[in-house]
Amino acid sequence: MATEVASTQSTGPGGVPNAVLYGVMAIGVAAIGAAAVFIRLAGDAEPMAIAAYRMSVGTAAVGGFALLTARHQFAVIRRRDLGWLVLAGAFLAAHFATWITSLQMTSLANSVFLVTTTPMFTAIGSHFVLRDRVGIAMVVAVTLGLGGGVILAAGEAGSQGGFGGDMLALAGAVAMAGNLLVGRRVRGHIPLLPYVTVVYGVAAVLLVASALAAGSPLTGLPTETYLWMLLAGLIPQTIGHSTLSWALAHASATTVAMSTRAEPIIATALAIPVLGEVPQWTIIPGGLLLFVGVGLALRSEVTRGR
């Protein structure tokens, strides 16, 4: 009996050992945490161009790997899945279009903290759309995470301004919540590589079309700018978002979204040596609340899956 209980406690609701699930999610969040810095370093390009290149590189990377190693898995995609995959891609495109634009309008801290309020919208959507049960522990976790984000963002208030940029970052959070909720609906039966290939491909097409429509230059940029956009496509996109898409088949959309609340700390820490952006003292209380919230959310997910 003791062995049976220990086995249950070490395995998440998706049948994957918790150590593996949370380890992979940690790698994904760490990779995503570098995104804001790469985007800032690619500042010679316009936001829509950066978004288009990031998604195109990500699509080429995962699509090429999928065609070489898992071509047969595409057969599991059913006709009725296509609409959901297109919707997930549209949400992803909207997320990057709004968030990357916000990074050029407000401070890095404000932008990243606001865009990672995704768990609030994911929890609401999970309850009303997916009928997931959101317990008291998850509500407290979301509240703590959001409180930490508010404290951290308050420390940057007035430093670079930009109410419009803040609202765009918030819109990016809503769009990412939509992407996670749709992904949670179909990832249970669609393998990772076919899923991310199609969703990334849809987002890339939409973003390239939007960049062209907006007249954003896609050529003639400095070589260094192309390098930073390439890294943004390979590290945060191919590694970061793909690992979180994998996690959607093994954890709730709210838990996956909660894990991304560590992104502001990672991004802010990287911005100190790379961009010379030193955070306010509020990073200490805000960061503590954030990590407590993430830990509580992950613990809540384990308990819910027992």
Q: Among 38-42, 125-129, 232-236, where is mean pLDDT lowest?
A: 125-129
Structural contact between residues 247 and 95, judged by C-beta atoms closer than 8 angstroms: no
User: What is the mean predicted confidence (pLDDT) over 71-85?
Assistant: 94
Q: 154-185 pLDDT, tens per residue?
A: 766 665 555 678 789 889 989 998 998 888 88
Is pLDDT larger for residue 243 or for residue 297?
A: 243
Task: Report the chain's terminal Cα–Cα distance, integer Å.
Answer: 15
Structural contact between residues 270 and 34, judged by C-beta atoms closer than 8 angstroms: yes
- SS3 of 17, please? strand
In the prediction, which pLDDT does 53 show? 97
pLDDT level of residue 8 (50, 70, 90 thresholds): very low
Rounded CA-CA distance 135/132 in Å is 9
In the prediction, which pLDDT does 228 show? 97
pTM of this structure: 0.82
User: What is the mean predicted confidence (pLDDT) over 208-233?
Assistant: 96
Does residue 12 have a pLDDT over 60?
no
Does residue 242 have a pLDDT over 90?
no
* Mean residue pLDDT across the chain: 83
Is pLDDT larger for residue 305 or for residue 1?
A: 305
